[in-house]
A and B are shown apart, each in its own frame.
Chain A
C-alpha cells in the first residue's frame, strides 16, 4: 500500500501532452506531397543546371525529410522536450559537418 501513499501529481499538458490522433487525410496528403517531390527531383536531375543540381536535390530532400518528421513522426504534435531534443540532434549534425568542411575545404588556401 505504501507505494500509493502519495497521489502522483497530474502532469501539466505542455509537459506530457495527451495523445494526438493525426487524421488519415493528413497522412495521405503528406504521402502525395512526398511522391510529387520525388517526381520533381528525378525530373530536375535530367537537366544540367551545373552546381544548382546538387542544391536543388538537397533542398527537396530536406523538405521531404521535414514533412516526414513533422507529420509521419508526429513531431509537430510532440512535447516541447522532444522537439528540443530533435532540434539539438540535427543542430549537432550540422556542427559536425560545418566544422569538418571548414577544415578540409580551406586547406588549399594555405
Chain B
C-alpha cells in the first residue's frame, strides 16, 4: 500500500486516473456552471431588451444620467484584472509561487478598485433619488434649463425612467455581487498559494477561479455598452 500512495501524484483525487483527467473534469464542470450563469444573466439582458424597446426615450434619459467616464474607467480596470488573473494562471502553471501570489493579489486589488468606483456611482445615484422605490424622483426634463445633451427632453415619463434604474441596479448589483464572491475566492487562493498548496502539476483551483473571474469580466463587457453607451443618442 505504501508504494501505491507514494505513486499517487500530489493533488490527485482518488476517483481520477490522472491529473489531466481531473483538470479536464474540473474545467468542464466550471463551464457548465458558467452556462447556468449565462442563462441567468441572459434573462436580465432579455428584460433589458424588452423594456428598452418599450421605453426608448426613458432609457436614453436614464442612460444620460450615468457617468460614462467612470464606466469606461471601470471597464479598463476589469480588463486589467483579467490580464493579471490570466498571468496568475500562467505562473501557477510554471510553478512560480511568488509571482502567483503577486498576480492574485493584483487581481483582487483591481477587483476592489472596481467595487469602490461602483460604490461612488451608487452613492451619487442615491443622493439624486435615482434608486428605484418610494424615494425615486425624476425631475421633468422639459423644465430643465439646458436641453442639449438630453435628447429625451419633453417626452419622458419618470416612472419609465425608474424602470431603467430597476434594471440598472439589478444587473450591476448582481454583477457586483459576483465580483465580491470572486474577490473572496481569490483571497482563499492567495492563502493557499502562500502555504504552497499549488504546484506546476496541481493548480486546478487557480484555473477554474480564473474562468469565473473572466466570465464576470464578460458580463461587464456587455453591461457597459448597454447601460452607458448606446443611450447616448436616439
Interface residues of A (CB under 8 A from B): 1, 4, 8, 11, 15-19, 21-22, 24, 27-28, 30-31, 34-35, 38, 41-42, 45-46, 48-50, 53-54, 57-58, 60-61, 64-65, 68-69, 71-73, 78-79, 81-82, 85-86, 88-90, 92-93, 96-97, 100-101, 104-105
Residues of B within 8 A of A105 (CB): 53
Interface residues of B (CB under 8 A from A): 1, 4, 17-18, 20-21, 23-24, 27-28, 31-32, 34-35, 38-39, 42-43, 45-46, 49-50, 53, 68, 72, 75-76, 79-80, 82-83, 85-87, 90, 93-94, 210-211, 214-215, 217-218, 221-222, 224-226, 228-230, 232-233
A22 to B214 Cα, complex, angstroms = 15
| A8-B17 in contact (CB<8A) | yes
| A16-B21 in contact (CB<8A) | yes
Residues of A within 8 A of B68 (CB): 42, 45
| A61-B93 in contact (CB<8A) | no
Q: Chain B: interface secondary structure?
A: helix
Given the known inter-chain contacts A16-B24, A24-B87, please indicate yes or no for A96 contacting B233, CB distance below 8 A: no
Option from B38, B75, B87, B225 in Cβ contact (under 8 Å) with A27? B87
Give A28 Cβ to nearest chain B Cβ, in Å.
Answer: 7
Q: Count A/B pairs, Cβ under 8 Å.
A: 143
Give A76 Cβ to nearest chain B Cβ, in Å.
Answer: 13
| B93-A68 in contact (CB<8A) | no
| A19-B229 in contact (CB<8A) | no
Enumerate 27 A-B pairs (CB-CB under 8 Å) in ascending A order. A1-B1, A4-B4, A11-B18, A16-B24, A19-B93, A27-B83, A27-B87, A38-B75, A45-B225, A48-B232, A57-B226, A68-B214, A68-B218, A69-B214, A73-B215, A82-B24, A82-B27, A82-B28, A85-B28, A88-B35, A90-B38, A93-B38, A96-B42, A96-B43, A96-B46, A97-B46, A97-B49
Listed from nearest, the 10 A-B pairs whose CB atoms lie closest are A89-B35, A57-B225, A8-B17, A45-B229, A48-B233, A31-B83, A54-B230, A27-B86, A93-B42, A34-B79
Option from B80, B82, B222 in Cβ contact (under 8 Å) with A61? B222
Given the known inter-chain contacts A57-B225, A68-B214, A69-B218, please indicate yes or no for A89 contacting B82, CB distance below 8 A: no
| A73-B229 in contact (CB<8A) | no
